C-alpha cells in the first residue's frame, strides 16, 4: 500500500472542539490543555478564534489564552479570524498565524458569517494587508467543501473557484473542511487529486468530521491521494454551532492510533494524547465519540 510515511496533525480541539460545548472552560484549563497537547508532540495547534464573542461565547477569551500559553519555538499556534478586527486581536495577542474561513456554500456563508461568498472573499483583502504588515501568516479554510446541509452536494468546480480567489490574494495553505460530515472516501480522493494537480504549489489540510462515521476512511482516502496534513480534535469534540446536525471532529487519538499502526510517523505520543483526551472528557463532563477512549489501543492485550 502506497501512503506517505509522515503526516502532520493540527490539534483543533481548543477551537473547533470547545466552541461546541455547553460548559465553558476557564482560561487556565484551556491554557493547560494547549500546553499538554504540545507536550504530547503536537506541532500545530488551533488555539481559539478571534470572532465576535456573542457568536462563539466559548472562545471569547482567546486573547488571554494566547497570552498565557507556554510558547514552544517549533510549534505553530494559529487562530481563526473572520475579519480585520480578528486580525487586530491576533496581533495584540501575539498569534502569528490566522485562518480565514469561507464556505463553499452560499447559504452556509449567510448562516455562518451573515455575508455572501463574494463579500466574504472581498473582505479578506483588508485582513491580508493588515496581517502582512504585521508579519502574520494567513491560511485559508473552505468549510462545507464536500457538502452543505442547506444546499447538498458541493461540486469540485465550486471549491476550485474559491481556491483561485484565495490564490489571488496570496493564500496558498488551504484547509478543505467537511464541516458536517458529508464527505465520503472516493469524493475526498478525487477532490484531493484534483486540487493538487491544479494548484501544485499549495499546502493542503483535510478537516474531517465524523458525523456519519466516515472520517477515518476519508483520512485514508486523503493519504492515498498524497495529503499529509490533517486536523483532529482531542476526544473527538466538535461540531459547528451554525450547521444543523454537525457533530464531532475526528478524534486526535483515533487518527494517531491508526497512523501509528500503519507506520506513518506523526511525532505524537499516543499514550500522552490519550491522556489529554481523557482529561478533556472529564472537563466537558460527558463521554465522546472517540473510539480509542472507549476501546483502548488495539495493541493493548486484555
Ligand atoms: Mg470543524
Residue 3 lies in a domain: no
DSSP label at residue 5:
S
In the chain, where do the E strands start and end?
8-11, 44-50, 76-81, 97-103, 137-143, 147-148, 152-153, 173-178, 203-208, 229-232
The CA distances from residue 293 to 124, 236, 299, in Å, are 39, 10, 14
232 CA distance to ligand 1 middle (Å): 9
Question: Residue 265: inside a domain, yes or no?
Answer: yes
pLDDT, tens digit only, all 302 positions of the chain: 999 999 999 999 999 999 989 899 999 999 999 999 999 999 999 999 999 999 899 999 999 999 999 999 999 999 999 899 999 999 999 999 999 999 999 887 888 778 888 788 888 999 999 999 999 999 999 999 999 988 899 999 999 999 999 999 999 999 999 988 999 999 999 999 999 999 999 999 999 999 999 999 999 999 999 999 999 999 999 976 565 555 789 999 999 999 999 999 999 999 999 999 999 999 999 888 899 999 999 999 87
Distance 250 CA to ligand 1 centre (A): 9
CA of residue 201 to ligand 1 center, whole Å: 25
Query: Whole-angstrom Cα distance, residue 144 to residue 154?
Result: 8
Cα of 242 from ligand 1 centre, angstroms: 11
Number of independent structural domains in the chain: 1
What is the CB-side half-sphere exposure of residue 149 using CA atoms within 13 A? 18
Query: Which structural domain range is residue 244 located in?
Result: 14-289
The reported pLDDT for the residue numbered 110 is 84
Does a structural domain hold residue 296?
no
Residue 148 annotated in active site: no
Give the domain CATH number at 56.
3.20.20.70
Catalytic residue among 10, 127, 148, 240: 240
CB contact at 8 A, 122 and 198: no
Residue 9 lies in a domain: no
Tell whether 299 is covered by a domain.
no
C-alpha 179 – ligand 1 centre gap (Å)? 5
- Residue 51 resides in a domain: yes
Find cell 476512511 and name the residue: 217
- The verdict on residue 144 lying in a domain is yes
Cα(192) to centroid(ligand 1), Å: 18
Amino acid at each position: 500500500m502506497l501512503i506517505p510515511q509522515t503526516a502532520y496533525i493540527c490539534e483543533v480541539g481548543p477551537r473547533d472542539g470547545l466552541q461546541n460545548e455547553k460548559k465553558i472552560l476557564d482560561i487556565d484549563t484551556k491554557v493547560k490543555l494547549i500546553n499538554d497537547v504540545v507536550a504530547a508532540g503536537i506541532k500545530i495547534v488551533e488555539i481559539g478564534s478571534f470572532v465576535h464573542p456573542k457568536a462563539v461565547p466559548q472562545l471569547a477569551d482567546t486573547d488571554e489564552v494566547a497570552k498565557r500559553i507556554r510558547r514552544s519555538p517549533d510549534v505553530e499556534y494559529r487562530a481563526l479570524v473572520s475579519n480585520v478586527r480578528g486580525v487586530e486581536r491576533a496581533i495584540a495577542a501575539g498569534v502569528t498565524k490566522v485562518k480565514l474561513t469561507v464556505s463553499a456554500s452560499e447559504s452556509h456563508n449567510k448562516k455562518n458569517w451573515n455575508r455572501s461568498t463574494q463579500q466574504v472573499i472581498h473582505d479578506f483583502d483588508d485582513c491580508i494587508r493588515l496581517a502582512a504588515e504585521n508579519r502574520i501568516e494567513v491560511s485559508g479554510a473552505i468549510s462545507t467543501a464536500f457538502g452543505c446541509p442547506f444546499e447538498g452536494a458541493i461540486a469540485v468546480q465550486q471549491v476550485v473557484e474559491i481556491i483561485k480567489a484565495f490564490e489571488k490574494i496570496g493564500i496558498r495553505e488551504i484547509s478543505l473542511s467537511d464541516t458536517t460530515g458529508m464527505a465520503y472516501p472516493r469524493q475526498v480522493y478525487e477532490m484531493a487529486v484534483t486540487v493538487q494537480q491544479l494548484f501544485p504549489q499549495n499546502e493542503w489540510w483535510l478537516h474531517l468530521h465524523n458525523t456519519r462515521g466516515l472520517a477515518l476512511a476519508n483520512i485514508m482516502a486523503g493519504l492515498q491521494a498524497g495529503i499529509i496534513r490533517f486536523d483532529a480534535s482531542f476526544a473527538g469534540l466538535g461540531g459547528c454551532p451554525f450547521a444543523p446536525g454537525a457533530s464531532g471532529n475526528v478524534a486526535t487519538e483515533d487518527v494517531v492510533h491508526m497512523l501509528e499502526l500503519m507506520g506513518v510517523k506523526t511525532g505524537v505520543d499516543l499514550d500522552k494524547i490519550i491522556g489529554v483526551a481523557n482529561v478533556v472528557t472529564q472537563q466537558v463532563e460527558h463521554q465522546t465519540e472517540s473510539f480509542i477512549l472507549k476501546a483502548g489501543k488495539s495493541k493493548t492485550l486484555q
